[in-house]
Amino acid sequence: MLLTITSTHQPASDLSFLLHKHPDKVHEVEISTGKAHVFYPEVSETRCTVCLLLDIDPVGLVRRNSGPRGNDFALEQYVNDRPYVASSFMSAAIVKAFSTAMNGRCKDKPELVTVPMPLEVELSALPVRGGEAVVKELFEPLGYTIHLQRHPIDPKFPEWGESRYFTVRLSNTLTVQQLLSHLYILIPVCDNDKHYWIGQQEMEKLLEKGMDWLPTHPAREFITLRYLKHQRSLANQAMEILLKDEVSEDDEEETVEPEQKLRIHDVRLQAVRDELVNAHAKTVVDLGCGEGKLLRLLLAEKQFERILGMDVSYRSLEIAQDKLKLDKLSPKQRERIELIQGSLTYRDKRIEGFDAAALVEVIEHLDEPRLAALEKILFKYAKLVDVIITTPNAEYNQRFENFEPGQMRHNDHRFEWSRAEFQQWGNRIAEQYNYNVVYKPVGEEDPEVGALTQMAVFKTRNSL
């Protein structure tokens, strides 16, 4: 199975710098199912072609896959197309052979990474479930010109009709990194077959490689679903992460004066930190950590040995990573903290088993069915000793100037609760999951409407 990429960007030999593969050598990379070879049939100033040739071991493939599946001696295991077509094995080879380029790095000529170049791709045997229309639906919105040749099942017997295999030629002007990320995701989507277990890790790969283009692709749902091999719950989770509007707490409380806003948020974060300190938590998770302001306060406290920040927004996590200067921390400090992308509305083992969790101004961003999912994840599965939650106190809104009745503080808020509503929710949860809960005002308390923010502090009864 062969993939070729041709550049006519001048000088065309730049392609070899971008791919980190010397044009005079044949390179071999091991993949779990065989080998991949990288070589250049053509290198000149005007045209440079690189080939990625997959050499899958058909017998090894069967051995690797044979498990307690019941059909251990099915003929299909030995006689199938897998060694000879572009499938997820090709994606595995692309990632292995061209990882530096996929990560957007180029040691010798870093300026090339962001340069769009005229590139042509040929895939010699791409299986496509759904035929020509699917290839077009996938590649045209990304700007590719497509040339397809469909192969008959057997050229000697034209009456047998067409096969699902195509020779595909694609051309486009884009960066090498973009091209590789498109191929990495869309080859297995065309094929729509599977060769390994699809789980959380696959979803993360999809999100990482597709982050720049998948959210705006018209076929994003189809791509996500096929890539994740029709696992609805994973696909939904991925879609939610991809499509989530970016929210930053800096946009919160648009109605409050800028200076007051800063102070209020600081007061809130300090209040949460103090609760976590007093709870004697050693391991904490900040759910919906946004740009990492609470994480910064937590890092300064030696008491916290392990700190995890999770958010659905990739952009916020990038900002958090920058602001916390994670790459400048000493190895010992660096070990204490980790940032992960995920959604709070799906069970995720990575957030389980911590002493405490904080959700600062997060719950009001979830609509009701999702809030119900969050409750379970947080109180049933995560097995936390302490949970600290803050949310706006809606009663306070009448103190804002020019505030209409029923108006909310931020346009992404799905609800804002009065103190009674928050306590009703919290009390029900505490009862159901065996926690004690106390409520505290955060910020100055108005005798009539209470404080701007309300906080619930839950402690499990199981540890008493």
Q: Given the rule CB under 6 A, which of 8-16, 58-66, 356-364, 424-432 is the region that contacts ligand SAH?
A: 356-364
Handedness of CA 431, 437, 441, 446 (dihedral sign): positive
Q: Is 365 in the site for ligand SAH (CB under 6 A)?
A: yes
Please enumerate in sequence order all residues whose Cβ is within 8 A of that of 144, keeping only pairs 6 or more positions apart, or say none: 170, 171, 172
Q: Is 290 in the site for ligand SAH (CB under 6 A)?
A: yes
Q: Is 454 in the site for ligand SAH (CB under 6 A)?
A: no
Q: Which is nearer to ligand SAH, 101 or 234 (CB)?
A: 234
CA–CA separation, 130 and 384 (whole Å): 47
Q: What share of the chain is helix, strand, coil (3-state, %, to 5)?
A: 40, 25, 35
Where is 4: in which H helix or E strand? strand 2-7
Residues in 9-28 that interact with ligand SAH by CB under 6 A: none
DSSP 54-92: EEE-HHHHHHHH-SS-S-TT-GGGTSSSGGGS-SHHHHH
- Residue that is written with structure tokens 């096969």 in the block: 163
CB of 359 to ligand SAH, least distance (A): 7
From candidates 9, 164, 293, 459, binder to ligand SAH by CB under 6 A: 293
Q: Given the rule CB under 6 A, which of 143-151, 253-261, 283-291, 452-460 is the region that contacts ligand SAH?
A: 283-291
From candidates 311, 355, 386, 416, binder to ligand SAH by CB under 6 A: 311
CB of 292 to ligand SAH, least distance (A): 8
Residue 239's DSSP bridge partners are none
Six token digits for residue 209 = 């490689």
Q: Is 247 in the site for ligand SAH (CB under 6 A)?
A: yes
Q: Is 312 in the site for ligand SAH (CB under 6 A)?
A: yes
Q: Which is nearer to ligand SAH, 331 or 369 (CB)?
A: 369
Angle (CA) 12 15 19, round 5°: 170
Best CA proximity match to 126, nearest among 169, 72, 65:
169
CA–CA separation, 110 and 121 (whole Å): 23
CB of 265 to ligand SAH, least distance (A): 7
Residues in 209-228 that interact with ligand SAH by CB under 6 A: none
Q: What backbone torsions phi and psi does residue 180 show, to the nearest 5 degrees? A: -65, -35
Q: Is 168 in the site for ligand SAH (CB under 6 A)?
A: no
CA–CA separation, 431 and 425 (whole Å): 10
Q: Given the rule CB under 6 A, which of 132-140, 148-156, 312-320, 394-402 is the region that contacts ligand SAH?
A: 312-320
CB of 219 to ligand SAH, least distance (A): 24
Residue length, the chain? 464
Residue 393's DSSP bridge partners are 417
Residue number with the smallest Cβ distance to ligand SAH: 290
Is 172 strand, coil or helix? strand
Q: Is 313 in the site for ligand SAH (CB under 6 A)?
A: yes
Q: Which is nearer to ligand SAH, 290 or 392 (CB)?
A: 290
Q: Which is nearer to ligand SAH, 357 or 429 (CB)?
A: 357
From candidates 4, 49, 88, 316, binder to ligand SAH by CB under 6 A: 316
Angle (CA) 219 221 226, round 5°: 95
Q: Is 344 in the site for ligand SAH (CB under 6 A)?
A: yes
Binding site for ligand SAH (CB under 6 A): 247, 249, 288-290, 293, 311-313, 316, 343-345, 360-362, 365-366
